[in-house]
Amino acid sequence: MKRTCMAVVLAAGESTRMKSSRSKVLHPVAGRPMIAHVVESLVGASISSVALVVGRDADAVTAAARRDDIDGSAFVQTERLGTGHAVLAAREAIARGYDDILVVFGDTPLITAAPLMAARRGLADGNDVVVIGFRTADPTGYGRLIIENGALLAIREEKDASEDERKISYCNGGLMAINGAKALDLLGRIGNANAKGEYYLTDIVEIARAAGGKAIAVEAPETELTGCNNRAELAAIEAIWQKRRRHEMMVSGVSMIAPETVFLAYDTRIDPDVTIEPNVVFGPGVTIESGAVIHAFSHLEGAHVGAGAAVGPYARLRPGANLGADAKVGNFCEVKKAEIGAGAKVNHLTYIGDAFIGARTNIGAGTITCNYDGVNKHVTQIGANVFIGSNSALVAPVSIGDGALVASGSVVTEDVPEDAVAFGRARQEIKPGRAKLLRERYQAEKAKRQNK
Ligand code: UD1
Ligand code: CA
């Protein structure tokens, strides 16, 4: 599209019904603030100029909306006098002159690029106002779209609607596109003579028509316009987002055995031919290569899983975990800021933190890298083809050379050279017959007590 466009993102609401100490647009959906989802959709619709209207938590909201690929400016709406008033907080930015002005809400994170583009096409077709609408079984609380012969005559807010108008199920999603050349003039004519005494952005439809312009509505799916006013709606939005993204992943080749139990983050990247078993949770920053399997009940965040690797069941990959091809991290293992080399195995009940593990190395059950001395973190280096016996404690900083073997139960405090064996535990002693003697003594003592 050749036309220039700026989006005004309204995020100055009080968020009263969220009952939160921070603005609702900062609450996360799929692991990032909902306002960031809205801005991403704008970018998806090729919009690179954004004017953000903020109220409470202005700095945090501005930071959450910031991106390198948009030219953004923020405006504070000091009094909350309605959506029409809010858009005019960005007067200065609108005055720069754009072909299209798009108004979107910061609390509608499921919006996609498609309806935004459709609204802009409506302007290109000669309309002055294009409203994004949706149909719903329960229109309570929404502004109703009054349509006649395809033209949008007016939007009637619930509180100002007649009984007949309230029966209309076609609603205002709140988002609209306005002819940029006329926007400031039209917005300036909005008054507040209504049931709530607010400056309603929605009045712009009748104002544009009275000035000889045309208005239409374009329909979008209801789910895309779900707004977040309270925590129940936040959870509903999360559920819709998750369902949508799981579907996208499955059709692109990812297997999910019980998709409804898998939780993805906004940036989770999974290649085709990966299998995700039930009850897996992804925090931000995870990438998984083809052929890997994530077994049930695993939690991954900030981690990379190489091709053909296996994780879990019941594994935890924390930020900086990097598994090479065909590596295995098994049940009740935690890996943090560590490289696990190709084909290496960390299969049972182990903590690996701040470590490098070479290719094909086997880490026995119950191994712990003791990376923290209470003040600082230290690194454990383990070479390739190493065997670490079960229940070993590797006290960092320490390094273990290629091909070395650490005897089970060792506390390793000194570096182990290549191909060496390290015993870091007391030598075993054998006392022949001693167990029998002890047993007889204990039985005699017990009999004596019972005969008293
Ligand atoms: C609005 C629409 C309604 C529509 C509904 C869809 C108006 C008058 N009504 O109603 O037709 O069906 O959205 O969800 O536009 N905001 C500010 N400053 C203000 C007022 C609002 O920044 O002074 C922001 C809010 O933070 C929010 C958005 O604008 O992101 C919408 O405001 P809200 O009060 O939720 O509007 P609704 O009553 O839901
Ligand atoms: Ca709302």
Extract the tokens encoding 262. Answer: 């898998």
Nearest bound ligand to the CA of residue 226? 1
133 lines ligand 1 (CB under 6 A): no
User: By C-alpha distance, which of 300, 301, 249, 299 is closest to 275?
Assistant: 249
pLDDT of residue 2: 86
Q: Stretch 408-429: mean pLDDT, rounded? A: 97
Ligand 2 centroid from CA 356, angstroms: 50
Ligand 2 centroid from CA 8, angstroms: 16
- pLDDT digits over 298-333, tens only? 999 999 999 999 999 999 999 999 999 999 999 999
Cis omega (within 30 of 0) on the bond before 397?
Answer: yes
pLDDT of residue 1: 59
233: phi then psi, degrees, rounded to nearest 5: -70, -35
pLDDT of residue 3: 95
In three-state secondary structure terms, 323 is strand
171 lines ligand 1 (CB under 6 A): yes
pLDDT of residue 125: 98
- pLDDT digits over 24-64, tens only? 999 999 999 999 999 999 999 999 999 999 999 999 999 99
Active site residues: 348
36: phi then psi, degrees, rounded to nearest 5: -70, -30
What count of other Cβ atoms lies within 10 Å of the Cβ of residue 117?
Answer: 18
Ligand 1 centroid from CA 174, angstroms: 7
pTM as predicted = 0.93
Long-range Cβ contacts of 258-263 (<8 Å, 24+ apart): none
Reported as type and span, the H/E element at residue 36 is helix 34-44
- Is the predicted pLDDT of residue 220 greater than 80, yes or no? yes
Q: How confident is the model at residue 251 (pLDDT cuts 50, 70, 90)?
A: very high
Q: What does DSSP say about strands 215-219 and 129-135: parallel, antiparallel, or unpaired? A: parallel
On the 0-12 / 13-18 / 19+ scale of CB atoms within 10 A, 308 is buried
Structural domains of the chain in order of their starting residue, each with its CATH number? 5-225 (3.90.550.10), 231-422 (2.160.10.10)
What count of other Cβ atoms lies within 10 Å of the Cβ of residue 5?
Answer: 22
Long-range Cβ contacts of 136-145 (<8 Å, 24+ apart): 136/169, 136/171, 136/222, 137/169, 139/166, 139/168, 139/169, 139/171, 142/171, 142/172, 143/171, 143/172, 143/174, 143/202, 144/168, 144/170, 144/171, 144/172, 145/170, 145/171, 145/172, 145/217
- Is the predicted pLDDT of residue 15 greater than 90, yes or no? no
What count of other Cβ atoms lies within 10 Å of the Cβ of residue 214?
Answer: 17
Nearest residue (by CA) to ligand 1, atom 26, is 13
Ligand 1 atom nearest the C-alpha of 107 is 30
In three-state secondary structure terms, 208 is helix
Nearest bound ligand to the CA of residue 168? 1
85 lines ligand 1 (CB under 6 A): yes
Nearest residue (by CA) to ligand 1, atom 8, is 200
Q: How confident is the model at residue 393 (pLDDT cuts 50, 70, 90)?
A: very high
The beta strand positions in 186-333, using DSSP E, are 215-219, 255-256, 269-270, 275-276, 281-282, 287-288, 293-294, 299-300, 304-305, 310-311, 316-317, 321-323, 328-331
**Residues around the ion ligand 2 (C-beta < 5 A):** 227
Q: How confident is the model at residue 452 (pLDDT cuts 50, 70, 90)?
A: confident
Q: What does DSSP say about strands 170-179 and 100-105: parallel, antiparallel, or unpaired? A: antiparallel
155 lines ligand 1 (CB under 6 A): yes
User: By C-alpha distance, which of 410, 74, 408, 390 is closest to 398?
Assistant: 410
89 lines ligand 1 (CB under 6 A): no
DSSP letter for each residue of 215-252: EEEEE--GGGG---SSHHHHHHHHHHHHHHHHHHHHHT
Ligand 1 centroid from CA 84, angstroms: 9
Nearest bound ligand to the CA of residue 174? 1
Percent of the chain whose pLDDT exceeds 70: 100
Mutate to test the pocket of ligand 1, among 24, 105, 135, 145 (most ligand atoms within 8 A of CB): 105
Residue identified by tokens 């060496």 is: 420
- Residue 193: which residues within 8 A CB-CB, separation 6 or more? none
Residue identified by tokens 């000889």 is: 212
CA pair distance 346, 390, nearest whole angstrom: 11
105 lines ligand 1 (CB under 6 A): yes
pLDDT of residue 13: 87
Percent of the chain whose pLDDT exceeds 90: 98
200 lines ligand 1 (CB under 6 A): yes
Extract the tokens encoding 420. Answer: 């060496």
Extract the tokens encoding 234. Answer: 């936040």
Q: Stretch 379-384: mean pLDDT, rounded? A: 98
104 lines ligand 1 (CB under 6 A): no
- pLDDT digits over 129-184, tens only? 999 999 999 999 999 999 999 999 999 999 999 999 999 999 999 999 999 999 99
What count of other Cβ atoms lies within 10 Å of the Cβ of residue 302?
Answer: 18
Ligand 1 atom nearest the C-alpha of 15 is 26
pLDDT of residue 149: 96
Ligand 1 centroid from CA 124, angstroms: 26
Ligand 1 centroid from CA 83, angstroms: 5
Nearest bound ligand to the CA of residue 11? 1
In three-state secondary structure terms, 124 is helix
202 lines ligand 1 (CB under 6 A): yes
Extract the tokens encoding 382. Answer: 């383990």
**What's the whole-number average pLDDT of the chain?**
97
Q: What does DSSP say about strands 321-323 and 334-340: parallel, antiparallel, or unpaired? A: parallel
Q: Stretch 73-96: mean pLDDT, rounded? A: 97
Ligand 2 centroid from CA 228, angstroms: 7
